[in-house]
């Protein structure tokens, strides 16, 4: 079965959120549209003014994705909404209804690759796995061994309510986890006022009419409800003098009393119409908890219950009964405050077998009663508790939903300010634009993209890392779990993960099991549940058509028997071993007959994620090592000369196609130009397509060269098509960035020998041949970005220049007039990359001084060198540089020039717009020749051309196409769709041109967009070529990782009988204990593949068998199982035992020794303790810690120890004196007092303890 689009999780979710390609009438009530509908209309407090929402749309982005990455901007679109403001108050007759397009701020927009560009960096919004709204039944054990049961109702928004039992078998309701009240009190408050009504819910009481004869019959039975004497008293309110009546209750006989003869008189006198006595409990269910709870219930009527609950919630007396009722109403029954969401209502209905409409998204009385009844049956062990880790109880919040939540927050804030503004503007005329402040929404959205835990800096090491990051699911984040609190159960693999969450790919460390990856075939349903596909099996016959595959969620799959994907079938879909089929049934693995099977898996790798599916022979690896393998493939750096694996799994090309990194043909066509910088393709188009399109005939693709990624690896694409070549839709046109010929290529195929080699491959170390370095087999290019900001300081303006005081000419020979190094310059540590001078001046210069300096230009004296220099260990070549500046505002002359340029821009735009319009008119004239109109309306639905009018050039020329409804012009559906497409394409082109105009004008008047306080920004990009060296980390795909320990000359490497040397020697002891035998299978099959010139795809769990491997090794003339004798390169002697030899796929990982090796003699010190800083980034030293001190103390090395703890660390005076002594050749002075002791003394003084040193 073909794989679904692997980026659908991100792209579809975002499209569903914005719904830009659907018209307002056809939009589904979800995403942004739903948020608008929930928050509008907005009215003022007197309901005089109403602001209504009609529609929303977005304009094209001002900058392209590449420009945003270069300039450090956010790739965003302006959001605009059409709003209508009208007045309902007859007094305001002068107020006209206003319909306006209102700007709502710029919203970050998803790129076609599923990422967001925020401040010049690509980010990903990770989907969150959280508890689904609905009801959960749980059980815990009290310290005394009593089992406690609970039912928790989790809404989408609103208060949590929990029903729970305690050790005395009483049921309480907890509101928001803190306020506690007996369940019966809550039932009274929601309308079950009397004991009788409560008992009737559970059918527990029998009513007896009060007569002496009747009461005599039931003597000896227990009362189910209190007998109350009720009367009304009048009393005078002292404040108002009114006469107020109040209801009084007196308990005559309490509940649970056994009726005796003496009670009869009291009951008759009380005036009660009837009494309730216990009925024998129906069935075997024990309802004693209801009676126990009634005993604990302090209330007797609805009014008392409502007041009691108000008191519990607010810790104060209610002002009146209505207020108290209102509070309870709002808590659970008001859709403004409480929302179960579609999911919550769906789950509650399903769990409790209710039939409440999906539209009712608040709690109802039926819900509460059903939950209490279910809880009672749970207490009686008639039903089971819920499994919280079952995937039917967890759902996914995708990008779209997270954005919708943020928009909701922004709109609620905005609505508040709109109401305030409406209330203030009572009599004056105002418009929707006056009411809306776009910053409110922008600030919420920007803080979400900038600071939210689920908005992450994209892992861009290689295409697999990108893809995996976009398909990641995290249980952390707002509203999710925290690392510290998550126990073992949440992290563990659950049987419902099958085909939904990968059991293999998850981080090692504190996040294990909390962050997981979506399986290859998994999809996310509209409700947010993860679904996986199955083939239908009816009466023992499998439906083999891919079109009939069913996607099921974890809940829908319950109770079904599912066969494995590789169960043997014949052509018709019958099982070959019909009576012994391995199957899954919930958490169990029975062997069943074909008639019992309901479904069948679609593919063996359905269980795994992309990364795990890329490991060949995964079935022969231990799961822990497979986990490491799938995680390390994401760390493989793109090589200069990548090579696709000989032994793959068949997913390599699908992954690259879906990753959207390589350039893919949009249709069938011909390559008209191709070189290292661009590819031009002329696509075949039908006459109709040509007619409606405004695009040029030839499509041009620019290829990136040394483009820096987030992880400082580089993207360089080169074409794999030539001029004149025919291409088909979906064909990949480029390679590079870990891709070869359209396949993922993270590493290289190497000839390997598994044998010890002079102890150099002890403990996972790796021995490689010199050829790896010489032939650039594992060479990668890394690009670093260096930034220099120019600010306006208090002491004057900084300046970029190559004229730097006290610096030799030789040091500045490669700098241009702006002080930025030239492209192509070779860099070594200490070189100046960007020259900058900054004013020195201890005090601010006086006006006279400034004047003299301006006249005589005495610069050198008052500026200091603040240049950016290459750090130690930086060797490379400058590949690019950029300079961004704000506009220069110097006097009238530049203003006049600016005005002229602005006019020039306007003229150019007007010309372009005119050309576009004339092209549109030509196209429409062709389409609408000899046709009559079915009525043309404008943007607001007002008819501008009457029905039946004939289309003419003149008539078309008078239409404003930017504000016209483009649909239903002629009544002929096909023609109408062509007209609509043509006009929409025109509008898109017009808006793009308009965005370019606005941008160019902005650049002219304001210069480049730069952060506040920065005048200029210079960037230099340096490419570093890294060959494989000793200390670099390498790994295979099976979790077999190691460090290069020695690079051996070719002639010293072990060689085979035919004289060919091996490229890499691995330690055989790394295999048995790690149990990752997949690498041995891969090695042997890889050797056969290299000899035969073949590539293999062995899908996981359905890979090549030992017999098939032996067939290929026999064909290739390779020793069976790869065992052969090797010869020592140094002596030429044969080694005593045969070793396993073959071809293995190895990766170079991002942990490179060049980034880690570091040494310091002198450097920066911490300001407070005066001790050297730590870490390479701070140019710090090695910490000589507590245990190291013990070691020197044990040796009695007193002088060395004193030196380390004082003059080499924080004895400030001693450091200076020691330097002097070394310069003069004297003996080192005595050590002084370490600064950290002074810090301690100061801290003690802060505690008012005086310490003196003698």
pLDDT in tens, 344-391: 999 999 999 889 888 888 888 888 889 998 998 888 888 888 998 999
Structure tokens at 222: 């227990």
Specify the residue for token string 């590079």.
736
Stretch 311-330: mean pLDDT: 82
The answer on pLDDT for 891 being more than 60 is: no
Per-residue model confidence (pLDDT) at position 521: 95
Name residue 671's beta-bridge partners.
681
pLDDT band at residue 103 under the 50/70/90 scheme: very high
Tokens of 279: 């009925």
Q: 748 or 893: which carries more pLDDT confidence?
A: 748
What is the number of H-type helices and E-type strands within the chain?
34, 59
pLDDT > 90: percent of the chain = 49
| Distance, CA of 430 to CA of 432 (rounded, Å) | 7
Give the pLDDT band of residue 833 (cuts 50, 70, 90): very high
121-135, 279-293, 554-568, 666-680: least confident range? 279-293
Backbone angles phi, psi at 778, to 5 degrees: -115, 40
Confidence tier at 766 by pLDDT (50, 70, 90): very high
Which of 540-549, 586-595, 712-721 bottoms out in mean pLDDT, i.e. has the lowest? 540-549
Give the mean pLDDT of 11-36.
88
CB of 717 closer than 8 Å to CB of 646: no
pLDDT of 592 higher than 90:
yes
The pLDDT of residue 311: 85
The reported pLDDT for the residue numbered 585 is 93
Burial class (CB in 10 A: 0-12, 13-18, 19+), 718: middle
Residue 898 has pLDDT above 90, yes or no: no
**Alpha-carbon distance values, 514 to 380, 467, 480, 492 (Å):** 35, 19, 10, 9
Mean pLDDT of 479-489: 89
Tokens of 463: 């295409």
Residue with the larger pLDDT of the pair 917 and 617: 617
Q: What are phi and psi of 463, to 5 degrees?
A: -60, -35
Quick one: tokens of 228?
Answer: 């109350």
Looking at the chain, the whole-number percentage of residues with pLDDT higher than 70 is 96
For position 868, what pLDDT does the model report?
92
Answer whether 775's CB lies under 8 Å from 1088's CB: no
Q: What pLDDT is stored for residue 675 in this prediction?
A: 92
**Confidence (pLDDT) at 862:** 75
What pLDDT band is residue 843 in, cutting at 50, 70 and 90?
low
Choose the weakest-confidence range: 39-43, 614-618, 1031-1035.
39-43
Categorize the per-residue pLDDT at 955 as very low, low, confident or very high, splitting at 50, 70 and 90. confident
pTM of the model: 0.88
Query: What does the pLDDT read at residue 99?
Result: 87
- pLDDT for the residue 452: 93
Region 709-731: what's the mean pLDDT? Answer: 92
Which pLDDT score is estimated for 892? 60
Place of tokens 């984040």: 477
Question: Which tens digits make up the pLDDT trace of 228-243?
Answer: 777 677 777 666 667 7
Q: Which residues contact 463 (CB under 8 A, 6 or more apart)?
A: 655, 656, 659, 661, 737, 738, 739, 744
Confidence of residue 710 (pLDDT cuts 50, 70, 90): very high
In this model, does residue 283 exceed pLDDT 60? no
Name all domains of the chain by residue range, CATH numbers in brackets: 8-130+397-460 (3.90.1100.10), 142-318+331-388 (3.90.1110.10), 481-613 (2.30.150.10), 741-778+1029-1157 (2.40.270.10), 780-886+1009-1026 (2.40.50.150), 896-1006 (no CATH), 1162-1246 (no CATH)
What is the phi-psi region of residue 83: left when phi exceeds 0, alpha when psi lies from -120 to 50, beta otherwise? Answer: beta
Residue 895: pLDDT band (50, 70, 90) is: confident
pLDDT band (50, 70, 90) for residue 158 = confident
Q: How confident is the model at residue 92 (pLDDT cuts 50, 70, 90)?
A: confident
Specify the long-range contacts of residues 704-709, CB closer than 8 Å, at least 24 apart: 705/676, 705/677, 705/879, 706/781, 706/783, 706/879, 706/880, 706/1021, 706/1023, 707/783, 708/783, 708/784, 708/785, 708/1021, 709/460, 709/461, 709/783
Looking at residue 1149, what is its pLDDT?
93
Comparing 748-757, 839-848, 1107-1116, 1128-1137, the range with the smallest average pLDDT is: 839-848
- Residue 417, pLDDT > 60, answer yes
Residue-level pLDDT at 426: 63
Residue 861, pLDDT score: 60
CA separation for the pair 774, 1185 (Å, rounded): 42
- Torsion region of 1207: left, alpha or beta (phi above 0 gives left; psi -120 to 50 gives alpha): alpha
Where does the pLDDT of residue 286 fall: very low under 50, low under 70, confident under 90, or very high at 90 and above? confident
Q: Once rounded to an integer, what is the mean pLDDT over residues 39-59?
A: 88
Q: What is the pLDDT of residue 1104?
A: 92
- Over residues 1034-1054, the pLDDT tens digits come to 999 999 999 999 999 999 999
Give the chain's mean pLDDT. 87
Q: Which of 478-492, 770-784, 855-869 has the lowest mean pLDDT?
A: 855-869
The pLDDT assigned to 961 comes to 72
| Alpha-carbon separation of residue 1207 from 348, 487, 1175, 1176, 1217 (angstroms) | 71, 48, 20, 21, 9
Residue 889: per-residue pLDDT: 61
Q: What is the pLDDT of residue 1140?
A: 95
pLDDT of residue 890: 61
Least confident of 59-68, 436-445, 811-820, 858-867: 858-867
**Is pLDDT of 986 > 60?**
yes
**Quick one: pLDDT at residue 180?**
86
DSSP 3-state of 155:
coil
Helix (H, G, I), strand (E, B) or coil at 268: helix
What pLDDT sits at residue 255? 67
Query: What token pair was written down for 711?
Result: 């992880």
The predicted structure's pLDDT at residue 326: 85
Single out the residue of 481, 581, 483 nearest to residue 537, CA to CA: 581
Instruction: Give the pLDDT score at 1100.
Output: 92
Please report the pLDDT score of residue 297 as a whole number.
83
């Amino acid at each position: 079965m073909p794989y679904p689009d692997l980026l659908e999780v991100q792209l579809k979710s975002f499209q569903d959120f914005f719904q830009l390609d659907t018209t307002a009438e056809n939009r589904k009530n979800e995403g942004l549209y739903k948020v608008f509908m929930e928050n509008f209309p907005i009215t003022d407090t007197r309901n005089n003014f109403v602001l209504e929402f009609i529609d929303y749309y977005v304009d094209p982005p001002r900058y392209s994705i590449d420009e945003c990455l270069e300039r450090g901007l956010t790739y965003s679109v302006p959001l605009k909404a059409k709003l209508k403001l009208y007045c309902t108050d007859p007094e305001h007759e002068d107020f006209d209804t206003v319909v306006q397009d209102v700007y709502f701020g710029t919203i970050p927009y998803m790129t076609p690759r599923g990422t967001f560009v925020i401040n010049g960096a690509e980010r990903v919004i990770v989907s969150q796995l959280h508890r689904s709204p609905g009801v959960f039944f749980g059980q815990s054990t009290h310290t005394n061994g009593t089992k406690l049961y609970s039912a928790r109702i989790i809404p989408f928004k609103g208060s949590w309510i929990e029903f729970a039992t305690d050790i005395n078998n009483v049921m309480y309701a907890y509101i928001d986890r803190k306020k506690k009240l007996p369940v019966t009190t809550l039932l009274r408050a929601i309308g079950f006022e009397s004991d009788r009504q409560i008992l009737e819910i559970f059918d527990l009481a029998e009513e007896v009419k009060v007569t002496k004869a009747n009461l005599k019959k039931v003597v000896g039975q227990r009362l189910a409800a209190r007998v109350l004497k009720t009367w009304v008293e009048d009393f005078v309110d002292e404040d108002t003098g009114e006469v107020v009546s109040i209801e009084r209750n007196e308990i005559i006989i309490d509940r649970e009393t056994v009726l005796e003869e003496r009670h009869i008189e009291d009951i008759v006198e009380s005036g009660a119409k009837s009494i309730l006595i216990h009925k024998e409990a129906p069935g075997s269910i024990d309802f004693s908890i209801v009676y126990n709870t009634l005993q604990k219930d302090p209330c007797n009527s609805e009014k008392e219950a409502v007041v009691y609950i108000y008191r519990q919630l607010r810790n104060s007396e209610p002002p009146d009964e209505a207020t108290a009722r209102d509070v309870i109403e709002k808590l659970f029954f008001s859709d403004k405050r409480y929302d179960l969401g579609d999911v919550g209502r769906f789950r509650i209905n399903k769990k409790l077998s209710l039939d409440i409409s999906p539209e009712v998204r608040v709690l109802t009385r039926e819900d509460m009663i059903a939950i209490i009844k279910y809880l009672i049956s749970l207490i009686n062990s008639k039903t089971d508790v819920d499994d919280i880790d079952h995937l039917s109880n967890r759902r996914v919040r995708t990008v779209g939903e997270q954005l919708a939540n943020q928009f909701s927050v922004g709109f609620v804030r905005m609505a508040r300010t709109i109401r305030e503004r409406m209330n203030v503007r009572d009599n004056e005329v105002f418009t929707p634009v006056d009411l809306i402040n776009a910053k409110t929404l922008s600030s919420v959205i920007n803080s979400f993209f900038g600071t939210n835990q689920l908005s992450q800096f994209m892992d861009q090491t290689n295409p697999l890392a990108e893809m995996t990051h976009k398909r990641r699911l995290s249980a952390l984040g707002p509203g999710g779990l925290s690392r510290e609190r998550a126990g073992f159960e949440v992290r563990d693999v659950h049987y419902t993960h099958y085909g939904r969450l990968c059991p293999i790919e998850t981080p090692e460390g504190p996040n294990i099991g909390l962050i997981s990856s979506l399986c290859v075939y998994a999809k996310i349903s509209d409700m947010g549940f993860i679904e996986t596909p199955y083939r239908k099996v009816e009466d023992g016959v499998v439906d083999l058509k891919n079109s009939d595959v069913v996607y099921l969620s974890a809940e829908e799959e319950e109770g079904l028997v599912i066969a494995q994907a590789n169960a043997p079938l014949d052509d018709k879909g019958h099982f070959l071993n019909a009576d012994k089929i391995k199957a899954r049934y919930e958490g169990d693995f029975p062997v069943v007959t074909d008639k019992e099977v309901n479904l069948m898996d679609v593919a063996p790798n359905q269980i795994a994620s992309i990364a795990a599916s890329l490991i060949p022979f995964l079935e022969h690896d231990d799961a822990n090592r497979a986990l490491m393998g799938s995680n390390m493939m994401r760390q493989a750096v793109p090589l200069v000369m990548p090579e696709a694996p000989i032994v793959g799994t068949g997913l390599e090309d699908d992954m690259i196609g879906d990753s959207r990194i390589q350039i893919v043909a949009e249709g069938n066509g011909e390559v008209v130009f191709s070189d290292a910088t661009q590819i031009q393709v002329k696509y075949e188009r039908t006459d109709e397509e040509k007619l409606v399109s405004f695009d040029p005939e030839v499509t041009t693709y620019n290829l990136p060269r040394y483009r820096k990624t987030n992880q400082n690896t580089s993207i360089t694409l080169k074409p794999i098509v030539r001029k004149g070549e025919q291409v088909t839709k979906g064909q990949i046109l480029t390679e590079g960035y870990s891709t070869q010929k359209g396949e993922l290529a993270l590493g290289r195929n190497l000839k390997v020998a598994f044998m010890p080699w002079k102890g150099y491959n002890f403990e996972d170390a790796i021995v490689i041949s010199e050829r790896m370095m010489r032939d650039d087999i594992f060479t990668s290019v890394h690009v670093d970005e260096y930034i220099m900001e120019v600010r306006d300081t208090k002491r004057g303006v900084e300046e970029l220049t190559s004229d730097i005081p006290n610096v030799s000419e030789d040091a500045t020979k490669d700098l241009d007039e702006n002080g930025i190094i030239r492209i192509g310059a070779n860099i070594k540590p200490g070189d100046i990359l960007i020259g900058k001078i900054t004013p020195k001046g201890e005090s601010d210069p006086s006006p006279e001084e400034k004047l003299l300096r301006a006249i005589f230009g005495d610069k050198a004296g008052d500026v200091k060198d603040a240049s950016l220099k290459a750090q130690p260990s930086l060797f490379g070549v400058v590949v690019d540089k950029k300079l961004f500046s704000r506009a220069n505002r110097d006097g009238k002359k530049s203003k006049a020039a600016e005005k002229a340029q602005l006019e020039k821009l306007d003229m150019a735009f007007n010309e372009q717009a005119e050309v576009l319009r004339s092209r549109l008119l030509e196209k429409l004239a062709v389409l609408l020749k000899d046709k009559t109109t079915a009525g043309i309306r404008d943007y607001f639905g007002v008819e501008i051309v009457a029905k039946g009018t004939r289309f003419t050039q003149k008539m078309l020329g008078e239409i404003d196409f930017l504000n016209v409804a483009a649909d239903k012009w002629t009544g002929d559906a096909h023609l109408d769709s062509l007209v609509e497409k043509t006009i929409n394409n025109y509008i898109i082109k017009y808006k793009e041109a308009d965005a370019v105009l606005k941008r160019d004008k902005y650049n002219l008047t304001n210069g480049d967009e730069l952060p506040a306080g920065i005048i200029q920004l210079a960037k230099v990009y340096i490419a570093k070529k890294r060959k494989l060296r000793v200390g670099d980390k390498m790994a295979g795909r099976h979790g077999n990782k190691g460090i290069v320990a020695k690079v051996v000359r070719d002639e010293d490497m072990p060689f085979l009988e035919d004289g060919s040397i091996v490229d890499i020697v691995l330690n055989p002891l790394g295999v048995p204990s790690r149990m990752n035998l997949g690498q041995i299978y891969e090695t042997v099959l890889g050797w056969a593949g290299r000899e035969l010139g073949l590539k293999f795809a062995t899908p996981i769990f359905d890979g090549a068998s030992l017999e098939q491997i032996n067939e290929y090794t026999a064909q290739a003339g390779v020793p069976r199982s790869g065992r052969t004798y090797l010869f020592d390169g140094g002596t030429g002697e044969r080694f005593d035992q045969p070793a396993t030899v073959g071809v293995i796929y190895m990766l170079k990982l991002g942990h490179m020794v060049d980034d880690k090796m570091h040494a310091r003699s002198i450097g920066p010190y911490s300001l407070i303790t005066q001790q050297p800083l730590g870490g390479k980034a701070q140019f710090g030293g090695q910490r000589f810690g507590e245990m190291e001190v013990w070691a020197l103390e044990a040796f009695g090395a007193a002088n060395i120890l004193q030196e380390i703890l004082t003059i080499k660390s924080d004895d400030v005076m001693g450091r200076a004196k020691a330097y002097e002594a070394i310069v003069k050749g004297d003996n080192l002075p005595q050590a002084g007092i370490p600064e950290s002791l002074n810090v301690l003394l100061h801290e003690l003084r802060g505690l008012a303890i005086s310490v003196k040193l003698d």
